[in-house]
Chain A
Amino acid sequence: MVQATLRFGRIGRFLTALVIWFHPVATVQAEDDYLSILEAEAADTAVETDFVSSPVGGNQVNNRFMGTTADKVIVPGLSFEDFETELSTRYSGSHSLYVKLSEKKRREVFAHYQSDNRISSVREEIVRLLSSG
C-alpha cells in the first residue's frame, strides 16, 4: 500500500513536471493554430464596401473611404528580399504564417505574387501552402 502510494507519488510528480515543462510550448502552439485559423477565416470573409461612408465634406475621390479591399495590392516588381520585407512591415498577419513555410514554399509564394500581386490572393496562397503540409 505504502509502496503503491510512493510509486503514484513519483509518477504524479513526473507527470506534473512534464506538464509544466511542455506548458509554454503547448501555449505557443495553440496561439499559432489560432492565428492560422483566424487568417484563413479572414481570407474567406468577403466584405461589402458599396456603402463605405465618406469623410466629412463628402470628398468621394478619397480612396481611403471608397477603395475595396479586393483591389489592395503589394507593390509590383519587388525582389524576393523586398517582397519579404514588404510582407513583414505591411501585412504582419500574413507574414506570421509566411515565416512558417519552408524556403521552397516561400519561393512559390513569391512566384505567385509575380503573377498576381493582390494581397488577398497572396494570403490565400500562403494558407494553401501551409495547410498542404
Chain B
Amino acid sequence: MKQPLVKLFKVIALVTAGFLVNSNATAINVKLTDYLAYIDVDHGGEQVRVQRIQDVEHKLDDGFAKTSRKCPPFCIQPMKVAPGVTTIGEAEIFRFMDRELASGTGLIIDARTSSWYQKGTIPGSINIPFTNFTASEEAPETIKALETTGAVRRGETSWLIRSFEKLMAKFGLFGADKKTDKWDFSNAKKLVLWCNGPWCGQSPRAIKGLLEHGYPAEKIAYYRGGMQMWKVLGLTVVIPENTEAVVMKSR
C-alpha cells in the first residue's frame, strides 16, 4: 500500500517539475542552448542568473563592438594556447558552472587586470590578474594565486623522495606527475581562464605562467571567446561591487 503511494507522489512531483521547467522555458525566448534556458551560479555568495538579453533587436554599442586594435599587443590568439590545455566555448562554460563550479572542484578565473575586471565580469568568476601567474615562483602574489586554486606549497623535500617522484611521474604513478619541487597540485582545482576575447593575450599569459609553475595542463581550460563573445551573445555580466581583486598585484 505504501509503495504505490510513494510512486504516485514521485510521478506527481516529476509532472509538476516538468510544468515548472516548461513555464520558465516559455518565458525565455532567447535561450542559452537548445536544452538550457538559463543557469544560476554563485557569485561572491549571491545567486546570479546567467541568461541572454531577450530583446532580439539589441546590438552591441560599446567598446566590445570595436573590430580593430593595434597588434601587437592585441593580436589574434590561436585556438590551442598550450599542449594539453583544452579550449572551450560558452556551452562548456555553462556545463562547468553547473558541475565543477557548483561542486567547488573548479574555478573560473577572470585573468584580466583589475581595470578591465571593474567593467564587468562573467558571473561566477574570480579576478586573478595574469601578472600574478607570470611573476616569480617566490613572489607573494604568485603564492597566493596558486593557493587560491587549491595547490599546496611543499616544504623541504629530500633529494631521494624527489628522485623517486620524478621516476614515478614518468609512468604516471602515485600522482607524482602532479608534484613539483615546490608545489603539490594533486588537489588543485580545474580552472577555466578567460580574458577579453580572441584578441586578448592576458589569459594565454596566465596559462603559460601556470604551466611554468607546474600546474597540470589537463586541469586547465581556455575560454578563448572571453568577454567579447560573452557580450556578443548578450549574456549576463556582473559589475563588481567590490573592485578589489582576489589577489592583488604587489609590485
Task: For the complex, give the distance between the alpha carbons of A67 and B242 in Å.
Answer: 12
Are B48 and A49 in contact, with the CB atoms below 8 A?
Answer: no
Most B CB atoms within 10 A — which of A35, A52, A66, A94?
A35
Inter-chain contacts of A90 with B (CB < 8 A): 243-244
Given contacts A54-B49, A92-B245, contact A123 B62 (CB under 8 A): no
- A36 CB to nearest chain B CB (Å): 10
Inter-chain contacts of A68 with B (CB < 8 A): 239
- A95 CB to nearest chain B CB (Å): 8
Are B115 and A63 in contact, with the CB atoms below 8 A?
Answer: no
Are B134 and A31 in contact, with the CB atoms below 8 A?
Answer: yes
Given contacts A38-B202, A69-B239, A93-B115, contact A47 B120 (CB under 8 A): yes
A 21-43 binary contact with B (CB < 8 Å = 1; else 0):
00000000001001101110111
Inter-chain contacts of A79 with B (CB < 8 A): none
Residue B240 CB within 8 A of the other chain: yes
Most B CB atoms within 10 A — which of A48, A92, A93?
A92
Inter-chain contacts of B249 with A (CB < 8 A): 92-93, 96
Q: Provide the main secondary structure of the chain B interface.
A: loop
Segment 232-251 of B: residues with Cβ below 8 Å from A: 234, 236-241, 243-245, 248-249, 251
Most A CB atoms within 10 A — which of B48, B66, B116, B239?
B239
Given contacts A46-B62, A52-B237, A96-B249, contact A123 B73 (CB under 8 A): no
Residue A65 CB within 8 A of the other chain: yes
Are A64 and B47 in contact, with the CB atoms below 8 A?
Answer: no
Inter-chain contacts of B53 with A (CB < 8 A): 51
Chain B contact-residue range equals: 35 or more
Nearest chain A residue, comparing its CB with the CB of B65: A48
Residue A91 CB within 8 A of the other chain: yes
Residue B131 CB within 8 A of the other chain: yes
Inter-chain contacts of A72 with B (CB < 8 A): 118, 243
Are B64 and A47 in contact, with the CB atoms below 8 A?
Answer: yes
- A125 CB to nearest chain B CB (Å): 14
Residue B17 CB within 8 A of the other chain: no
Residue B40 CB within 8 A of the other chain: yes
Given contacts A56-B49, A69-B119, contact A48 B244 (CB under 8 A): no
Are A91 and B115 in contact, with the CB atoms below 8 A?
Answer: yes
Inter-chain contacts of B244 with A (CB < 8 A): 89-90
Task: For the complex, give the distance between the alpha carbons of A67 and B243 in Å.
Answer: 12
- B43 CB to nearest chain A CB (Å): 8
A 47-78 binary contact with B (CB < 8 Å = 1; else 0):
11101111111000001111111001000000
Some 27 contacts from A to B, beta carbons below 8 A apart, are A34-B201, A38-B73, A38-B202, A45-B62, A45-B63, A46-B62, A47-B62, A47-B63, A49-B120, A53-B49, A53-B237, A55-B48, A56-B49, A57-B47, A64-B240, A65-B238, A67-B239, A67-B241, A69-B239, A72-B118, A89-B244, A91-B243, A92-B114, A92-B248, A92-B249, A93-B114, A94-B114
Chain B residues with CB under 8 Å of chain A are 40, 46-51, 53, 55, 58, 60-64, 66, 69, 73-74, 113-116, 118-120, 129, 131, 134, 201-202, 234, 236-241, 243-245, 248-249, 251
- A sample of 6 more A-B contacts (CB under 8 A), given A38-B73, A64-B238, A72-B118, is A38-B115, A39-B115, A41-B74, A47-B119, A53-B48, A69-B118
